Each structure stands twice: as C-alpha cells, then as structure tokens.
C-alpha cells in the first residue's frame, strides 16, 4: 500500500479515537466517528486504486513552504542545465505532483529524459563510458545545485537510487559506486559554476513554467561552453 494511504488511515484512526474519547464530554454523536471512518477509508480506497497514491501527495503539496518550492526549482534546474549541455534528451519538466499528474508522469515531478534513447545508446560499447559519465553528472546535478546555493542538499535520494541502478545495469562494480557518485557531483558542480548565468536564468524561466524551447534558448544565449561538449 502507498505510504500516503497509510498516513491517511493513521490520521483517520487518530480522529476517530479522539472523537470517541471526547464524545461523552462534548455530547458528540457516535455516528460522527463512524462517519469519519467511512469517509477516510473511502478517500484512501479511491486514492490507492484510482490515483495510485498520488491524490494524497498532491493534497500535501498544497502545504509545501515557499522556500522549499524554490529549492525544488533550483534542484531541477541543475538537472535541466546539465542534461541539455551534456546532450541528454529532455522531454519535459514538472515542479509539483499536480503538474506531473497532468503530464502523465508518476512521482513528485522533475525533469524527464528520453530514457529509451539513452538505454539504446548504452548498448553501444564504443559510447558506454562517455554516456555513463554524462548521465552520472546529470543525475547528480540537482544535488550539486543545492550544495552550491544552500551549502547543503536535502533532496537527491531518488537521484542516487537511479544512479546506482544505472551503474549496476551497466555492469559497474558496486565497490566503485561511491567514488563515481563523488566524481559526478564534482563534475556537476563545476559545470553549474562555469555556467552560473545560464543556470540562474534557467531557474527564473522554470519558475515561470516557460516552455522547453524557451529554456533551451536561454541556455544557448548565456552558456559559456555550448558546442564544447559533443
């Protein structure tokens, strides 16, 4: 069962228990806790089976602090900038669970890449090492961006999971994963620092939900190294 569904059930049980305990004091009808239980279970069922747990995620996102939203944009802008400069095909981006749902994407949102094209390239032994380096840098660019701006990173758990999964799939020994992660973070940080103006302009563009083409143009106009990586 989705974690959000479990959270919703826990909230329902708490409300039902408190209503039952306080019912005698405040003369609350016994139908109230029963109604709460039915309502909560109904929402949970719909959310789990129809929305695959995303309904509660979208609801909770309404209470996300503004500073956290800004951090998310900066994190995703790091992925976007690195992916574009390193030639990883971008298919779209979303910055909230609701935007992701509207685009038919699972999860909380983020920059989407053409993974089928990437996986097809991984089958070419002549390109695999270079492509792994570029993908690793792109995946770690969100963490690197947070580190640069906030001197710490809070997101990136899923990025690290994807990186390790990719390395395993490519046959990279587990013992070298941590070293590759550190290398990729360093490369991503250097890439963002070298293209700081493009990065800041991209943050502004993504916050305004500008199109992919507009974001590409912004990077093209302000990047210091387009064409240097082929």
DSSP string, 154-194: ---HHHHHHHHHHHHHTT--GGGHHHHHHHHHHHHHHHHHH
CB–CB of 74/149 below 8 Å?
yes
Alpha-carbon distance of 74 to 182, in angstroms, equals: 20
Average pLDDT of the chain, as a whole number = 79
| Joined tokens for residue 37 | 């239980």
Q: What percent of the chain has pLDDT over 90?
A: 45
Alpha-carbon distance of 72 to 55, in angstroms, equals: 20
- The residue behind tokens 């974690």 is 3
The reported pTM is 0.75
pLDDT of residue 145: 96
Alpha-carbon distance of 183 to 167, in angstroms, equals: 14
pLDDT of residue 115: 75
Distance of CA 173 to the CA centre of its chain: 26
List the pLDDT tens digit at each of the 230 positions of the chain: 344 444 555 555 665 666 666 555 655 565 555 565 565 555 555 555 455 555 556 566 666 788 989 999 999 999 999 999 999 999 999 998 877 777 767 667 799 998 777 777 666 667 788 888 999 999 999 999 999 999 988 878 889 999 999 899 888 899 999 999 999 999 999 999 999 999 999 999 999 999 999 999 999 998 876 544 43
SS3 110: strand
Alpha-carbon distance of 83 to 223, in angstroms, equals: 13
């Amino acid at each position: 069962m989705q974690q959000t569904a479990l959270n919703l059930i826990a909230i329902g049980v708490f409300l039902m228990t408190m209503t039952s305990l306080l019912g005698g004091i405040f003369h609350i009808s016994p139908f109230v806790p029963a109604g709460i239980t039915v309502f909560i279970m109904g929402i949970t069922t719909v959310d789990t089976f129809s929305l695959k747990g995303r309904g509660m995620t979208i609801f909770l996102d309404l209470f996300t602090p503004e500073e956290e939203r800004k951090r998310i944009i900066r994190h995703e802008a790091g992925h976007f900038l690195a992916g574009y400069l390193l030639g990883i095909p971008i298919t779209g981006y979303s910055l909230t669970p609701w935007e992701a749902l509207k685009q038919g994407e699972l999860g909380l949102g983020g920059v989407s890449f053409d993974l089928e094209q990437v996986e097809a390239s991984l089958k070419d032994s002549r390109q695999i090492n270079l492509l792994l380096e570029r993908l690793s840098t792109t995946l770690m660019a969100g963490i690197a961006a947070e580190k640069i701006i906030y001197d710490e990173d809070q997101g990136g758990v899923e990025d690290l999971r994807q990186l390790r999964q990719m390395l395993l799939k490519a046959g990279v020994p587990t013992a070298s994963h941590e070293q590759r992660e550190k290398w990729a973070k360093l490369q991503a940080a250097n890439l963002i620092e070298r293209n700081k103006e493009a990065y800041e302009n991209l943050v502004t563009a993504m916050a305004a939900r500008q199109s992919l083409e507009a974001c590409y143009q912004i990077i093209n106009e302000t990047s210091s190294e387009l064409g240097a990586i082929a």
